[in-house]
Amino acid sequence: MSSDRQYTGHFRKDFIRNLRLDFFDEEEIRALLAELDSLDPAIRQQTFALCHSLSHASSSLVPNTLRRIQRASRSLSPKDLGRWIGHAYDLLDHHGIGPFLSFISRIDEETLRDFTTHRGLRLQEVAPVLETFLQGISGRELRIVQDTESHTDTVSVYLPAVVDRYVKRSRNYSIFKFMVSHQWAQLTCGTLTPDEAVLRRFLREETPGEADIASLFSQFGERSFAIDLYTVLEGIRLEAFLVRELPGLMREIPDIKKDIMALRPTPLGSSLKETVVEGLLHVYLNGDTDSTTPEVIAAFSDETRDLKDAPDAGASLRLLHLFYEAATRQNGGYVARKIPLLGTIRPDEVSLQMKAERRARRQMIKGMITRLMTMTELRPREMPHRKQADIRRAPDPLREYLLIKGRAIELDRELKKVLEERGCIPGGIIVHGSDLGGSVSPLSLQELVEDEEEIPGRTEGGMQYDEWDYKRGGYKTKWCSLHEKTIHPGHEPFVEQTRSRYSGYISILRKKFELLKREPRIVRRQKEGDDIDLDATVEAFTDLRAGLSPRDDLFTRYDRQERDIAVLFLLDMSGSTKGWICEAEKEALVLMAEALESLGDRYAIFGFSGMTRNRCDYYRIKGFEEAYAETVKRRISGIMPKDYTRMGPPIRHSVHILKSIEARTKLLITLSDGRPEDYDAYRGAYAMEDTRKALTEAKEQGVHPFCVTIDREARSYLRHMYGEANYIIIDDVRQLPGRITDIYRRLTV
Amino acid sequence: MVTTVKTEEYIIAEEPYYLPAGIEIQTFEAAYLNQIPVLLKGPTGCGKTRFMQYMAWRLRRPLITVSCHDDLTASDLVGRYLVQGGETVWVDGPLTRAVTVGGFCYLDEVVEARKDTTVVIHPLADDRRILPIEKKGEVLTAPPQFLLAISYNPGYQSVLKDLKQSTRQRFLAIEFSYPDRKFETAIVIHESGVDEPTAGRLVSFAEKTRNLKDRGLAEGASTRLLIHAAKLVVSGIDLRNACRTAVNLPLTDDREMSEALSELMQSVF
């Protein structure tokens, strides 16, 4: 409406006047205006404005420009056309008439394509939902990442940026969902990680190193041919699984397959190899072999059909070899092709992920062996020095053990490999379990090294805290020393910046928190109040009648619930928070402080980091008694990532501080970025158990711990580590400032 | 015509449908024989209340259920004097009635109740087994048939709503979780009369939503929700709509999560 009003009002008159001044006759003017009026309403106003501007320079440009716009409208949607006109207008405004004219003269398809919005569904649009979808079906922490084709490396599922096979969004969406589901099926059904037994059937004898899918495919001369074959064969095999698990989705697939089928090239390929892959793809798309199926495949049509019932990748691998050999008997190259729906398999990336996992484990074992060699000799009678709480294991007669310095160590595959690589270790021999006496209690390497840590070392100054050792089922007394420090104030106006950045949000936040404070509530049985408590009154009367002395609390009163809460925020300042996480933590603190100031709950902020048990640093940012004033703000600004994350001592110290505070509810909220880890052996299970213990202690002492973790990976351990404590995981660090206030509100409602 | 049944006369006549997942029935019976109160833990809608009904039927005891709320006081449980026609009349609360008749008193979602209710629960829940009625100056001793049971969902995160140690440590705890796929399918079929493939699908979908717990969903779909969905299907509503109304929408208000749920649902059905 408003656009039309402008278009018909003053500007229109002005435009007509300009045209007249440039000697347009009335007929021409009417024709021009009619042309303008007939334009799509979405661009009419904009075009009119452009023509109006042009008419100031020279009206003779107007008819030509209008014609160009109409020509462009044939290739562009109204929205895209609007952007195109807008760009032209910008050029006219900023660069003058020359560049403008040369721009609007180029209306060929190629140039206009720059202004075309990608048709089809972009991954960006649906990635968050797809990721939740993927986690739902798989129950695993898999991520969605953009790439050129769909594939997976067992940690992430990669998907193309756009699916534009259909005009209809829902169809394209189904394709995305299928791609995700197919990758999930590959992960679940062992396409990428076949059992070693299956692999060995197809590997040449002399294959060195760990057998995985990459070593398998390195055996093929025509690697991409073999990969494509395997991709399609597995597609055929996994279809049955998908139909069983996700019948709803799979109902939509036949139509999509039919449409894809219609677009496949004929003839199948220029060489036998191409013919075989394409032919196999047809089998996949059609659901079975038919008269057009190449002979090589048709010869094994029963086996191909039986793939659907195959429990593991073995059947596909067998057919892969058969087809591969048949096809490579003939000459002819192979050009790798994009396989619709199924994407591809990247054995090397899968192998890399698996190697990384193995390497991490290897590294740990090597470190332990070095440690082992420096250990002191243990006399046999000292052997059972471990606490009874431990379950003692008897040696398994069938297993092998490393006997060294009076200790028997379980030999697992990794350890054995490392030992073989080293040749031998001085003073160590490998024995069978049957040769070990029953009195020997073998340890795993990890347990052993951690036991050895118990030798008391120096602890200097500071507050002494015990540390929980899950191995011995007891505490290492006064194991850690914690030093309270204050943070060096920062000079950047971080708090002010954050406040202005979130100013809108802060005002909403304050309101929300004030609501929390004033939430009116009728309190019954008050000695004085706004209204009579009927229940109490009736009771009083009945008491009177019954000859009892009535109570005098007969009123109800609106009351803001009294909040008696003290909260301590404990901030992970370890080196791993560097960058986004630290910034987000700081922002979260600012928002939290703003909200709490309006609510009136008492709060303190502390940070922690450190290195080894002798140096657990505990930084004061705001004590309970301190006001949220300039110094505190400067300290928040000065928060910087430091060293490691030893979670136990700071949690214990925080509880110690909270114990000295009078409050009905005491809360300890920790903000961290994942696993606890220190420079020494404080890592893995040991660190998790100590953290868990510290949190349990907190709970025992009447402090409610709540843990906020910013972590995009491995969350499986969190549930155990946080145990009884409540926790939440935030995977997008940018959400932290908003979420933390929400969490606090929910916690204390 | 409404018929009034006195609570203490309310004995469950027909066997409620209950599929045991473990040894909970034996445990409960042992607790009953030894006069130890029972705490039922578990997510919502996984069969805690149904279990109580079943046990009440099995042991032939009246069952008095109290759904706790944040305004529930001790006198709501014990009873109070009321005026009737100029006379004061004492009216027993549900807990008192259960003690008197030797029934089961089941306090559902006990953390919701006001803190002062613990005052009456505690002496009943240890070996004294007494219920002091302050107003009447009486102390009731519970007969051996009386059993106190409370339920509690550890999944709730508000720190202000937690069960105190002194309360916890008076009870035997039986943990409930969602049944196995096979059992859950059987339960859905029995409760709703839906056919087996549909029930299987519903359960498979529920499992996928349970994968999303702590990843945006506070809790996955409960068996109760599945039964609701199945009942809608039996009444002729198509599966997807039934699931949407009975499962997805009750589970979350978050738009993105709800979209993801509906994608999951469409893939499963």
Q: Look up residue A67 and give its two tokens.
A: 């014609």
Q: Look up residue A159 and give its two tokens.
A: 């998907």
CB contact (8 A) between residue A133 and residue B267: yes
Q: Please tell me which of A124-128, A183-187, A447-451, A466-470 the model is most confident about, judged by mean pLDDT.
A: A183-187
Pair (A309, A378) in one structural domain: no
Average pLDDT over residues B109-113: 83
Q: Look up residue A733 and give its two tokens.
A: 């660090």
CB contact at 8 A, A532 and A544: no
Pair (A105, A67) in one structural domain: yes
Domain termination site, one of A86, A115, A144: A115
Mutate to test the interface with B, among A121, A129, A175, A564 (most CBs of B within 10 A): A129
The C-alpha atoms of residue B115 and residue B112 are separated, in whole angstroms, by 9
Which helix (H) or strand (E) element contains residue A499? Answer: helix A494-501
Residue A206, number of CB atoms within 10 A of its CB: 5
Lowest mean pLDDT segment, chosen from A314-323, A724-733, B257-266: A724-733
Mutate to test the interface with B, among A124, A133, A553 (most CBs of B within 10 A): A133
> What does the domain layout of chain B look like in residue ranges?
7-175, 181-268
pLDDT in tens, A591-644: 888 878 877 788 899 988 887 777 888 888 888 888 888 888 888 888 888 888
* Among candidates B80, B81, B264 on the partner chain, residue whose Cβ is nearest the Cβ of A137: B264
The C-alpha atoms of residue A172 and residue A120 are separated, in whole angstroms, by 7
Residue B195, number of CB atoms within 10 A of its CB: 12
* Among candidates B82, B158, B162 on the partner chain, residue whose Cβ is nearest the Cβ of A749: B158
CB contact (8 A) between residue A746 and residue B158: yes
Q: Specify the CATH number for B7-175; select among 3.30.380.10, 2.30.42.10, 3.40.50.300, 3.30.1520.10.
A: 3.40.50.300
Domain termination site, one of A316, A343, A370: A343
**Residues contacting residue A702 through CB under 8 Å, at least 6 positions apart:** A659, A666
pLDDT value of residue A141:
78
Alpha helices by DSSP H, B59-180:
74-78, 94-101, 117-125, 165-168
Q: How far separated are the first and last CA of chain B, in Å rounded?
A: 43
CB contact (8 A) between residue B88 and residue A542: yes
Average pLDDT over residues A130-151: 87
Please, which pLDDT band fits residue A235 given cuts at 50, 70 and 90? very high
pLDDT value of residue A455:
41
CB contact (8 A) between residue B267 and residue A729: no
Chain A residues in contact with B162 (beta carbon < 8 A): 704
Residue B93 backbone dihedrals phi, psi, to 5 degrees: -85, 170
pLDDT in tens, B132-170: 988 888 899 999 999 999 998 876 655 556 778 888 889
Q: Coil, strand, or helix at residue A518? A: helix
**Residues contacting residue B187 through CB under 8 Å, at least 6 positions apart:** B17, B19, B47, B179, B223, B227
Query: What burial class does residue A500 get, using C-beta atoms within 10 Å of its C-beta: 0-12 exposed, 13-18 middle, 19+ buried?
Result: exposed
Please, which pLDDT band fits residue A186 given cuts at 50, 70 and 90? very high
Chain A residues in contact with B204 (beta carbon < 8 A): 245
CB contact at 8 A, A519 and A560: yes
Which residue, B155, B185, B149, B147, is CA-closest to B38?
Answer: B149
As a whole number, the mean pLDDT across chain A is 80
Pair (A305, A387) in one structural domain: no
The C-alpha atoms of residue A408 and residue B54 are separated, in whole angstroms, by 54
Residue A393 predicted with pLDDT over 70 = no
Chain A residues in contact with B201 (beta carbon < 8 A): 247
Chain B residues in contact with A128 (beta carbon < 8 A): 256, 260
User: How distant is the alpha carbon of residue A92 from its chain centre?
Assistant: 46
> Does residue A77 belong to any structural domain of this protein?
yes
Lowest mean pLDDT segment, chosen from A246-250, A267-271, A319-323, A695-699: A267-271
- Report CA torsion sign: A141, A147, A152, A154: negative
Residue A390 predicted with pLDDT over 50 = no
The C-alpha atoms of residue A39 and residue A49 are separated, in whole angstroms, by 13
Residue A391 predicted with pLDDT over 90 = no
pLDDT in tens, B161-198: 677 888 888 999 999 989 899 999 999 999 999 999 99
* Among candidates A133, A542, A728 on the partner chain, residue whose Cβ is nearest the Cβ of B263: A133
Residue A194, number of CB atoms within 10 A of its CB: 22
Which helix (H) or strand (E) element contains residue A59? Answer: none
The C-alpha atoms of residue A514 and residue A598 are separated, in whole angstroms, by 6
Pair (A592, A741) in one structural domain: yes
Interaxial angle between packed helices A580-599 and A736-748, expressed in degrees from 0 to 180 and rounded to the nearest 10: 40
Chain B residues in contact with A541 (beta carbon < 8 A): 83, 88
pLDDT value of residue A51:
86
Interface check for B59 against chain A (CB to CB < 8 A): the answer is: no
Interface check for A665 against chain B (CB to CB < 8 A): the answer is: yes
Residue A440 predicted with pLDDT over 70 = no
- Strand partners of residue A476: A467
Mutate to test the interface with B, among A124, A130, A137 (most CBs of B within 10 A): A137
Pair (A336, A384) in one structural domain: no
**Residues contacting residue B186 through CB under 8 Å, at least 6 positions apart:** B19, B199
Supply the CATH number for residue A651's domain: 3.40.50.410
Q: Look up residue B165 and give its two tokens.
A: 């140690």
Chain A residues in contact with B156 (beta carbon < 8 A): none
CB contact (8 A) between residue B135 and residue A726: no
The C-alpha atoms of residue A77 and residue A169 are separated, in whole angstroms, by 17
CB contact (8 A) between residue B211 and residue A135: yes
Interface check for A138 against chain B (CB to CB < 8 A): the answer is: yes
Whether complex ipTM tops 0.90: no
Interface check for B269 against chain A (CB to CB < 8 A): the answer is: yes
> Does residue A146 belong to any structural domain of this protein?
yes
Interface check for B77 against chain A (CB to CB < 8 A): the answer is: no
Interaxial angle between packed helices A247-262 and B255-268, expressed in degrees from 0 to 180 and rounded to the nearest 10: 80
Please, which pLDDT band fits residue B58 given cuts at 50, 70 and 90? very high
Residue A184 predicted with pLDDT over 60 = yes
Q: Coil, strand, or helix at residue A640? A: coil
pLDDT value of residue A459:
41
pLDDT value of residue A493:
80
Pair (A546, A584) in one structural domain: no
Any long-range contacts for A125-131 (C-beta under 8 Å, 24+ apart)?
Answer: A126/A173, A126/A176, A127/A159, A128/B256, A128/B260, A129/B256, A129/B259, A129/B260, A129/B263, A130/A159, A130/A176, A130/A177, A130/A180, A130/B263
Residue A84 predicted with pLDDT over 80 = yes
Interface check for B158 against chain A (CB to CB < 8 A): the answer is: yes
Q: Which residue of A has its CA nearest to B214?
A: A728
Chain A residues in contact with B263 (beta carbon < 8 A): 129-130, 133, 177
Length reported for chain A? 749
Pair (A109, A148) in one structural domain: no
CB contact (8 A) between residue A747 and residue B158: yes
b/e code A42-62 from CB counts within 10 Å (16+ = b): ebbbbbbbbbbbbbeeebebb
pLDDT value of residue A562:
64
Chain B residues in contact with A129 (beta carbon < 8 A): 256, 259-260, 263
Domain termination site, one of A433, A452, A471: A452
**Residues contacting residue A279 through CB under 8 Å, at least 6 positions apart:** A268, A292, A293, A294, A296, A297
> Does residue A491 belong to any structural domain of this protein?
no
Alpha helices by DSSP H, A329-388:
347-373
Report which of residues B85 and A338 the model is more confident about: A338
Pair (A551, A571) in one structural domain: no
In A547-615, DSSP assigns E strands to 555-560, 565-572, 602-610
Strands A156-160, A162-163: pairing kind: unpaired
Task: Provide the number of structural domains found in chain A.
Answer: 6
The C-alpha atoms of residue B150 and residue B169 are separated, in whole angstroms, by 13
Pair (A80, A38) in one structural domain: yes
Chain A residues in contact with B80 (beta carbon < 8 A): 535, 539, 542
pLDDT value of residue A734:
66
CB contact (8 A) between residue B269 and residue A545: no
Helices (H) and strands (E) in chain A, counts: 30, 19
CB contact at 8 A, A535 and A570: no
Structure letter (DSSP) for residue B248 = I
Q: Look up residue A711 and give its two tokens.
A: 């972590």
Please, which pLDDT band fits residue A418 given cuts at 50, 70 and 90? confident
Residue A655, number of CB atoms within 10 A of its CB: 22
Residue A37 predicted with pLDDT over 60 = yes
Q: Which residue of B has its CA nearest to A181?
A: B267
Q: Which residue of A has its CA nearest to B72?
A: A524
Pair (A111, A124) in one structural domain: no
Average pLDDT over residues A235-245: 92
pLDDT value of residue B237:
93
* Among candidates B88, B159, B160 on the partner chain, residue whose Cβ is nearest the Cβ of A545: B88
pLDDT value of residue B111:
83
Please, which pLDDT band fits residue B2 given cuts at 50, 70 and 90? low
The C-alpha atoms of residue B97 and residue B102 are separated, in whole angstroms, by 8
pLDDT value of residue B235:
95
Please, which pLDDT band fits residue A237 given cuts at 50, 70 and 90? very high
**Residues contacting residue A572 through CB under 8 Å, at least 6 positions apart:** A585, A607, A608, A609, A645, A670, A671, A672, A673
pLDDT in tens, B7-44: 556 788 889 999 998 899 999 999 999 999 999 998 88
Residue B183, number of CB atoms within 10 A of its CB: 15
pLDDT value of residue B6:
63
b/e code B97-130 from CB counts within 10 Å (16+ = b): bbbebebbbbbbbbbbbeeebbebbebbbeeebe
Q: How far separated are the first and last CA of chain A, in Å rounded?
A: 48
**Residues contacting residue A175 through CB under 8 Å, at least 6 positions apart:** A163, A165, A166, A256, A341
pLDDT value of residue B153:
82
For chain A, the maximum distance between any two Cα atoms, rounded to a whole number of angstroms, is: 117
Which residue, A74, A104, A67, is CA-closest to A86?
Answer: A104
Interface check for B115 against chain A (CB to CB < 8 A): the answer is: no
A227 half-sphere exposure, CB direction, 13 A CA radius: 24
Residue B85 predicted with pLDDT over 70 = yes
pLDDT value of residue A458:
39
Q: Please tell me which of A544-553, B68-77, B128-137 the model is most confident about, judged by mean pLDDT.
A: B128-137
Pair (A110, A143) in one structural domain: no
Please, which pLDDT band fits residue A454 given cuts at 50, 70 and 90? very low
Pair (A225, A333) in one structural domain: yes
The percentage of residues in chain A with a pLDDT greater than 70, rounded to a whole number, is 87
pLDDT in tens, A473-486: 778 877 888 888 87
Q: Which residue of A has its CA nearest to B255?
A: A129
CB contact (8 A) between residue B159 and residue A667: yes
pLDDT value of residue B28:
95
pLDDT value of residue A129:
87
Q: Coil, strand, or helix at residue A338? A: coil
Name the residue range of residue A229's domain: 194-343
Chain A residues in contact with B81 (beta carbon < 8 A): 539, 542-543, 546
Q: Coil, strand, or helix at residue A208? A: coil
Smallest Cα distance from B159 to chain A, Å: 6
Q: Look up residue A606 and give its two tokens.
A: 């502390």
